[in-house]
Amino acid sequence: MKIIDGHIHIGKWSNIFFNYETTVSQAIDIMKSSGVEAAVCLPTDATPNEKLFNEIKGQKEFKFYFAAWINPEDKELDGFLEKNLRGISLFKIHPSVQKKRVTDNSYKKYIESALENKKPVVIHCGRWKEVASYEHALELSKKYPDLKIILAHLGGDQPSLYLECASEVKKINSNNIYLGTESVREFYFVNKVVKTVGADKVIFGSDYNLGLPKMYIPIVESLDITESDKELIFSGNLLRILNNA
Ligand SMILES: [Zn+2]
């Protein structure tokens, strides 16, 4: 079974994770020893896009899809995107770190660029509902129905949030809304999410360097679905949206 990790971080975190830092070669070792063949790689909040982008570009050992961290206050961002757009596979928005809802006006030009250049957008969704609720991400999707979005942490990293998110996603019934499994532990409820939205809407991720693929691979393996549906979650869905991008 082909496994792609749909959500890993490499680099250094700020104080939110006590300046913890990992390197590209550490990530490659972990991915390979976990049976992961490729990964969507995001910087951390204290690592510039350009630094990580150049580091992964310079190696041939492992396939990475780069996701650019969209911080509208980053003075280097526009130049970086302009120069490297072709090598960037996705955009990533973290409303909690940036303390701005994904619907904030400062994200608008990046959302429109993602749409125009067919880049899926990974949106962190969390428990800070006022700023990082999946509801804001779904509101964005209503405004831009052709934008491909991946709601990280299944839309909230807590069963009470992600079960609710799954039923909203089902109601919208869009082919452009996906749910990422990174850091979600409650396998029984993950199964319910997959039954609600369908295996073709769920994307495996580990949230490495915070989690490990081996912590989360068993959750997908334990789902009460066919092997081919598991393969969709492990890699098929992601490859489909990246290739149609
Ligand atoms: Zn993450």
Q: What percent of the chain has pLDDT over 90?
A: 96
CA of 10 to the centre of ligand 1 (A): 10
> Ligand 1: distance of its center to the CA of 182 in Å?
7
Token readout for 204 is 């495996």
CA 8 to centroid of ligand 1, rounded, Å: 7
222 C-alpha to center of ligand 1: Å?
A: 23
- Cα of 128 vs centre of ligand 1, distance in Å, is 15
Ligand 1 centroid–CA 45 distance in Å is: 10
Number of domains in the chain: 1
Rounded to the nearest angstrom, the distance between the alpha carbon of 74 and the centre of ligand 1 is 19
7 Cα–ligand 1 center, Å: 6
Q: Give the Å distance between the CA of 183 and the centre of ligand 1.
A: 8
C-alpha 129 – ligand 1 centre gap (Å): 17
Determine the average pLDDT of the residues in 82-92: 97
What is the reported pTM?
0.96
CA–centroid distance, 9 to ligand 1, in Å, is 6
Question: Which neighbouring-strand residues pair with 79?
Answer: none
The pLDDT tens digits of the residues spanning 194-220 come to: 999 999 999 999 999 999 999 999 999
Instruction: Name the residue among 82, 17, 66 with its Cα closest to residue 45.
Output: 17
For residue 82, give its domain range: 4-243
CA of 210 to the centre of ligand 1 (A): 8
**Closest of 102, 100, 83 to residue 92, by C-alpha:** 102
pLDDT at 245: 59
**Tokens at 191, concatenated:** 């199964």
CA of 205 to the centre of ligand 1 (A): 9
Q: What is the CATH number of the domain that holds 180?
A: 3.20.20.140
Give the tens place of pLDDT for each residue, 37-78: 999 999 999 999 999 999 999 899 999 999 999 999 999 999
